[in-house]
Structures are given as C-alpha cells and as structure tokens.
Amino acid sequence: MNILSLSLIDLVGALVGFTLTVFVFSYIWGDNALFRIATHLFIGVSAGYVAIITINNVILPQLIFPLLSENRGEMLTTLVFLVFGALLLTKMSPRLARLGNPAVAFLVGIGAAAAIGGAVTGTVFPQVGASMNAFSSGGNIINGIIILLGTLATLIYFHFGTRRKKDSVNQRAIWMEGLGYIGQTFIAITFGALFTGVYIAALTALIERFGFIWSLLKDLILSS
C-alpha cells in the first residue's frame, strides 16, 4: 500500500478501516466505548445492507411488481402470500398470536421438507455413493472401510430407540454400544477438524489485520 498513490476515497476508507480495527482490538482491555461504537456500526451497516438486499431482491420483484402486473394468476398468488405475511405479523400481539399459526405451520413444513430433501439428496445419497465407489478399486479399499465404519458408527451413536442405562430392560447390545463409542470418536474428530478450520480462518484474518495496520502506519510515517 502506497499512501501517495491512493485517491482521496481510498485514503479515507483505509483510515476508517484502520480506526475501526483499532476499536475492535481495544476489547483486549475489556468492554469499552470504542468497541461498542465499532459493534454498533457493524450491526447498523449489516442491517442496512440486508434491508436493501431484501427490498431489491424480495419485496419489489416478489410482491410489488406482481401486484402491479396484468397477470391475474400472479396477482392471486401474491395476495395469498401477502395474507400469510400479514398473519405472521400478528405473532407480535399475544391476543392475535393464534392467527399466525397457519403461516408458521406453512413455513415450518416447507422448511422441514426442504431441509430433509436437501440432506437426503445432498448428503446421504452422495455419502452412500462415495462409500460404494471407494470399494470399486483395490487401492481405496482401506478408505472405503474407514468411511463405511465411520458412517455406520455415527448413525448407531444417534440411535435413541433404547436407553443406555444399566438398569434398563431395553439396554442396547454390547456390540451396538461399542460401535456407538466408535461413532462418538468420529464425531469428536470431525468437531476437532471443524474447530481447527475456524481457528485457522480467524488467525488468517487476524494476521491480515495486523499486516494492514503495519503497512498503513509504515506508509504514513514514510510519507510524513
């Protein structure tokens, strides 16, 4: 970064980014006014951005424009969803909250169906296909066994059809308990890998911010 080659807008943006970065880093010494200013600015800008995206991509094309169109089918469909949206607003009132139950049921049903369909077609079927393909070639037989064992053991770990208490009549079999512990190990390894990925991403962002501050300060000192 060269301060002298930056335009006025880029220079102001760099200074604002530097100031807000310092404000956020001030949380090291505890909650303070500078950190709260940066947090409020972030929430306000994020809310404004989401509002603009919602208006331009949802409200105008999905609500306003269909109501103004000459297609009666689109108008009727939009009116139905408009009624559902109005019923959702009744959830803010304890007296009228029951009126919003059909809209909530509709949203929950559609959301659950989409989530289950996405999980089956996007996770279960590809996982089964990958496990089957791993056994198709001799070189990947070990990987196939590990994938199959991890999948089955993880599913067995989440088997809640019987209780795990020792004094229960419906106690799970010993072999199922053993596979459940293996599945628990696979889950722990997965969570560890996910945490490591998140930590590396956060550390990369921290290094980038430190590099930005150092570069800006160095350029400011050299240009003065």
Does 181 have pLDDT greater than 80? yes
Which pLDDT band holds residue 62 (cuts at 50, 70, 90)? confident
Mean pLDDT, the chain, integer: 82
> Which of 158 and 83 is assigned the larger pLDDT?
83
- pLDDT for res 51: 94
Instruction: Note if the pTM is more than 0.75.
Output: no
Dihedral sign (CA 80, 84, 89, 90): positive
What percentage of the chain reaches a pLDDT higher than 90? Answer: 21
pLDDT at 161: 53
Q: What is the mean pLDDT of residues 148-171?
A: 68
- CA–CA distance from 165 to each of 104, 159, 169, 173, 203 (Å)? 38, 14, 9, 12, 43
Q: Check pLDDT > 70 for residue 46.
A: yes
| Bigger pLDDT: 191 vs 16 | 191
Locate 30 and state its tokens: 């505890």
Average pLDDT of the residues in 58-62 = 87
pLDDT for res 93: 85
Mean pLDDT of 96-104: 88
pLDDT of amino acid 29: 87
Torsion, CA 5, CA 9, CA 14, CA 20, rounded to 10: 170
Token code pair at residue 128: 């089964």
pLDDT in tens, 112-151: 999 998 888 887 788 777 777 766 665 567 777 787 788 8
What pLDDT, in 10s, does the model give residues 168-179?
A: 555 667 777 788
